């Protein structure tokens, strides 16, 4: 005999969900008061940060994470972060509080109309019919989050937690095994295509497995592109066969892939776009195949052939089945049509000289200021260890980051695949909590940082030693450039008055202002070597000027 609350805690322990990210309200007090010592509570100051931190924690652990939200207000505030978690393939279990079941019919204060509030972004939403169904609903949410690779919600009225638990059965399997094998006969059409290809190419996405994809790419000897706007690097970006990030409009995409007769997208859709440009995705004569374990991704991709299968198992078996004939010549980033050194277009960072490592940078003005984002990212790249986790949310500097800071591990580039702001700061906190021995750096624009600035308090309070590198230009630079392209005047003003360093310090997070090259180098030289063992977060508020050649 016990309570629904105690039975649910047993479910959480069984599934490794012993860290609870939350911003609690009155409907969650009966769950959270007097937690057992083996359950860790992590407070975030906004629900977007709650889900963002849980998302980073899940990505770092490669296992589900747990978040608790407060009825309508909490779930409503977190919808954008829930959408990001879904597109970023992060398995989350989210408990949403509800008013007391015994008078819900009267719609009391804080009663939530929660059904459908998060739209189609949750992989499952469950509102248990009776209190005794809650532990099973939570266990099922764990399985659904992994299978659907996204957030699974369970709505729990506040009185359910104290209800008596005397059940004999939780109607959910204790363990779910997901076989990942793929039959040779099913792969035969793809083996035939790749074996006969004159010039194959691969597009890697967030769902790709690095080890098996590297082996397949090396067997084929072909270039490997990164999907545009992906949530994670799908291939080592310092590999000689890496060809850069695919353009996100159809005209440049056709140019980039025009030389290839078979294009294999692995763990990526076919193909993510941003501005609409008329015309086909690829030129006539190019056959497109997608391999993904995401049904939605498979079903919406404009491919000639789609495999709904585990990418790792598929690529591993393909490598074994393909003949060992001489491979075609590897195309480098500089030689791939339509893709320049940054992988996103024909340019570099602007006019300037090459450094000792051969990287072309904008000319640094006398006195080392004003800095451009390229200067900052170059100095970071020179010092960043290969195992570093890098979280990106700086839209106007993303091309420079792709060009200058190659991902050398699967978490070497993590971004909000949904596109909404407010992901990087809380995600970096969650990632560092999950990976306490790995260096974690968030590279964030000042406009982006303001959407998730609450997470800095959690970083400081829980001694999360991440580095938050803010590229501060005092404006929404990408929006300004889009308005320029439309030929009109942007109605939004700059926000030069905002002081991110002061905001960080007000939230308990140490911070420094950096406005020149000498200060930047000194700060990075001091901080980056400490990141693996660091327990205190640090925000560097780096003043940068907008690159005049930047194109969204």
Within a domain: 353: no
Q: Residue with structure tokens 């909590």?
A: 433
In the three-class reduction of DSSP (H, G, I as helix; E, B as strand; rest coil), residue 60 is classed as helix
For 431-510, strand residue ranges (E) read 440-445, 467-472
Number of neighbouring beta carbons within 10 Å of residue 545: 15
Helices (H), 293-364: 295-300, 311-321
Q: Tens digit of pLDDT for each residue in 452-475?
A: 999 999 999 999 999 999 999 988
Within a domain: 473: yes
Mean pLDDT, the chain, integer: 91
Within a domain: 293: yes
Same domain assignment for residues 91 and 220: no
For 139-184, strand residue ranges (E) read 151-157, 164-165
User: What stretch of H or E contains 262?
Assistant: strand 262-266
Where residue 508 falls (left for φ over 0; alpha for ψ -120 to 50; beta otherwise) is left
Q: What number is the average pLDDT over the span 149-175?
A: 90
- What residues form DSSP beta bridges with 288? 263
Q: State the Cα–Cα distance between residues 245 and 243, nearest whole angstrom.
A: 7
Backbone torsions φ then ψ of 103, nearest 5 degrees: -135, 25
Backbone torsions φ then ψ of 288, nearest 5 degrees: -115, 130
Q: What's 476's domain CATH number?
A: 3.40.50.970
Q: What's 231's domain CATH number?
A: 3.40.50.1220
Q: Does residue 150 surpass a pLDDT of 60?
A: yes
Same domain assignment for residues 520 and 376: yes
Q: Does residue 337 surpass a pLDDT of 50?
A: no
Instruction: Look at 89-93, 104-108, 182-186, 546-550 and tell me which has the smallest mean pLDDT.
Output: 546-550
Q: Does residue 504 surpass a pLDDT of 50?
A: yes
Closest by alpha carbon to 379, among 544, 549, 502? 544
Within a domain: 436: yes
Q: State the Cα–Cα distance between residues 205 and 226, nearest whole angstrom.
A: 6
Backbone torsions φ then ψ of 513, nearest 5 degrees: -90, 140
Domain end call among 335, 356, 378 = 335
Question: Measured between alpha carbons, how far is residue 91 from residues 56, 84, 380, 519, 524 in Å?
Answer: 10, 11, 31, 40, 34
Same domain assignment for residues 400 and 540: yes
Q: What is the pLDDT of residue 76?
A: 97
The conformation of residue 145, written as its DSSP 8-state character, comes to H
Which residues fall within 8 angstroms of residue 526, CB to CB, at 6 or more apart?
none
Same domain assignment for residues 376 and 292: no
The interaxial angle of helices 373-383 and 517-527, nearest 10 deg, is 30
Q: What is the pLDDT of residue 348?
A: 30
Within a domain: 398: yes
Q: Tens digit of pLDDT for each residue in 99-147?
A: 999 999 999 999 989 999 999 999 999 999 999 999 999 999 999 999 9
Q: What is the pLDDT of residue 357?
A: 57
User: What stretch of H or E contains 117?
Assistant: none
Question: Measured between alpha carbons, how far is residue 373 from residues 395, 420, 509, 550 in Å?
Answer: 11, 21, 23, 11
Q: What number is the average pLDDT over the span 236-243?
A: 97
Q: Does residue 276 surpass a pLDDT of 70?
A: yes
Within a domain: 472: yes
Q: How confident is the model at residue 338 (pLDDT cuts 50, 70, 90)?
A: very low
Q: Please say whether the beta carbons of 374 and 516 come within 8 A.
A: no
Q: Tens digit of pLDDT for each residue in 14-45?
A: 999 999 999 999 999 999 999 999 999 999 99
Q: Please say whether the beta carbons of 368 and 518 come within 8 A.
A: yes
Domain end call among 318, 335, 352 = 335
Same domain assignment for residues 264 and 204: yes
User: What stretch of H or E contains 403?
Assistant: helix 398-404
216 is in which domain, residue-wise?
A: 184-335
- 60 is written with which tokens? 């770092």
Q: How confident is the model at residue 280 (pLDDT cuts 50, 70, 90)?
A: very high
Higher pLDDT: 328 or 62? It is 62
Same domain assignment for residues 258 and 298: yes
Question: Measured between alpha carbons, how far is residue 524 from residues 115, 362, 382, 384, 413 in Å?
Answer: 48, 20, 10, 9, 19
Q: Tens digit of pLDDT for each residue in 68-93?
A: 999 999 999 999 999 999 999 999 99
Q: What is the pLDDT of residue 168?
A: 72
Q: What number is the average pLDDT over the span 314-318?
A: 97
Q: State the Cα–Cα distance between residues 394 and 261, nearest whole angstrom.
A: 34
In the three-class reduction of DSSP (H, G, I as helix; E, B as strand; rest coil), residue 322 is classed as coil
Which residues fall within 8 angstroms of residue 333, CB to CB, at 6 or more apart?
242, 243, 244, 339, 340, 341, 343
User: What stretch of H or E contains 402?
Assistant: helix 398-404
Which residues fall within 8 angstroms of residue 414, CB to CB, at 6 or more apart?
56, 59, 231, 232, 389, 390, 391, 392, 427, 431
Q: What is the pLDDT of residue 335?
A: 45
In percent, the amount of the chain with pLDDT more than 90 equals: 81
- What residues form DSSP beta bridges with 97? 156
- 52 is written with which tokens? 């963002």
Domain end call among 293, 313, 335 = 335
The interaxial angle of helices 311-321 and 184-195, nearest 10 deg, is 60
Q: Tens digit of pLDDT for each residue in 369-399?
A: 899 999 999 999 999 999 999 999 999 899 9
Strand 389-393 vs strand 414-415: parallel, antiparallel, or unpaired?
parallel
The interaxial angle of helices 4-14 and 134-148, nearest 10 deg, is 30
Q: What is the pLDDT of residue 356?
A: 44
Number of domains in the chain: 3
Radius of gyration for the chain, computed over Cα atoms and rounded to the nearest angstrom: 24
Same domain assignment for residues 521 and 429: yes
Q: State the Cα–Cα distance between residues 412 and 123, nearest whole angstrom.
A: 27
Q: How confident is the model at residue 441 (pLDDT cuts 50, 70, 90)?
A: very high
Same domain assignment for residues 190 and 324: yes
Q: State the Cα–Cα distance between residues 398 and 82, nearest whole angstrom.
A: 23
Same domain assignment for residues 207 and 150: no
Same domain assignment for residues 192 and 313: yes
Same domain assignment for residues 329 and 423: no
Q: What number is the average pLDDT over the span 251-261?
A: 96
User: What stretch of H or E contains 461?
Assistant: helix 455-461
Q: Measured between alpha carbons, how far apart are the two ends of the chain, in Å?
A: 61
Same domain assignment for residues 391 and 287: no
Within a domain: 443: yes
Q: State the Cα–Cα distance between residues 145 and 65, nearest whole angstrom.
A: 9
Q: Distance of alpha carbon 163 from its chain centroid, rounded?
A: 38
Q: What is the pLDDT of residue 1?
A: 72
């Amino acid at each position: 005999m016990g309570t629904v609350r105690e039975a649910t805690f047993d479910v959480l322990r069984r599934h490794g969900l012993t860290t609870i990210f939350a911003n609690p309200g009155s409907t969650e007090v009966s769950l959270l008061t007097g937690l057992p010592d083996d359950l860790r509570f992590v407070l975030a100051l906004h629900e977007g940060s709650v889900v963002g931190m849980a998302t980073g924690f899940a990505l770092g652990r490669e296992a589900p994470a747990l978040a608790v939200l407060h009825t309508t207000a909490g779930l409503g505030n977190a919808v954008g972060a829930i959408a990001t978690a879904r597109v970023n393939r992060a398995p989350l279990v989210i408990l949403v509080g509800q008013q007391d079941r015994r008078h819900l019919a009267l719609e009391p204060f804080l009663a939530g109309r929660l059904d459908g509030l998060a739209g189609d972004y949750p992989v499952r939403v469950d509102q248990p019919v009776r209190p005794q169904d809650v532990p099973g609903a939570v266990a099922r949410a764990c399985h659904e989050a992994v299978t659907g690779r996204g957030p699974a919600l369970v709505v729990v009225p506040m009185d359910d937690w104290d209800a008596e638990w005397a059940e004999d059965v939780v109607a959910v399997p204790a363990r779910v095994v997901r076989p990942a094998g793929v039959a040779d006969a099913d792969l035969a059409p793809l083996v035939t295509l790749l074996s006969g290809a004159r010039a194959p190419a691969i597009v890697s996405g967030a769902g790709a497995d690095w080890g098996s994809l590297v082996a397949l790419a090396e067997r084929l000897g072909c270039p490997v592109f990164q999907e545009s706007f992906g949530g994670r690097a799908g291939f080592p970006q310092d590999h000689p066969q890496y060809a850069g990030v695919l353009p996100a409009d159809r005209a440049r995409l056709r140019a980039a892939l025009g030389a290839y007769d078979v294009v294999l997208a692995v763990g990526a859709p076919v193909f993510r776009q941003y501005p609409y440009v008329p015309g086909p995705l690829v030129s006539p004569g190019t056959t497109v195949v997608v391999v993904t374990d995401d049904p939605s991704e498979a079903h919406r991709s404009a491919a000639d052939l789609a495999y709904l299968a585990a990418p790792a198992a598929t690529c591993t078996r393909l490598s074994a089945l393909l003949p060992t004939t001489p491979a075609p010549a590897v195309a480098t980033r500089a030689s791939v049509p339509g893709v320049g050194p940054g992988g996103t277009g024909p340019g570099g960072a602007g006019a300037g000289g090459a450094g000792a490592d051969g990287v072309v940078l904008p000319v640094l003005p006398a006195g080392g200021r004003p800095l451009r984002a390229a200067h900052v990212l170059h100095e970071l790249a020179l010092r960043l260890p290969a195992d570093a986790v890098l979280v990106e949310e700086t839209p106007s500097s993303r091309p420079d980051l792709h060009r200058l800071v190659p991902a050398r591990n699967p978490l070497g580039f993590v971004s909000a695949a949904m596109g909404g702001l407010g992901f990087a700061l809380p995600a970096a906190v969650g990632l560092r909590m999950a990976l306490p021995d790995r260096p974690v750096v968030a590279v964030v624009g000042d406009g982006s940082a303001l959407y998730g600035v609450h997470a800095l308090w959690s970083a400081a309070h829980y001694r999360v030693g991440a580095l938050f590198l803010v590229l501060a230009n005092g404006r929404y630079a990408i929006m300004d450039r889009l308005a320029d392209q439309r030929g009109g005047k942007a109605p939004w003003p700059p926000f030069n008055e905002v002081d991110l360093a002061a905001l960080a310090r007000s939230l308990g997070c140490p911070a420094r202002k950096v406005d020149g090259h000498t200060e930047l180098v000194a700060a990075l030289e001091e901080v980056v070597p400490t990141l693996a063992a660091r327990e205190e977060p640090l925000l560097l508020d780096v003043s940068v000027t907008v690159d005049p050649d930047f194109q969204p």
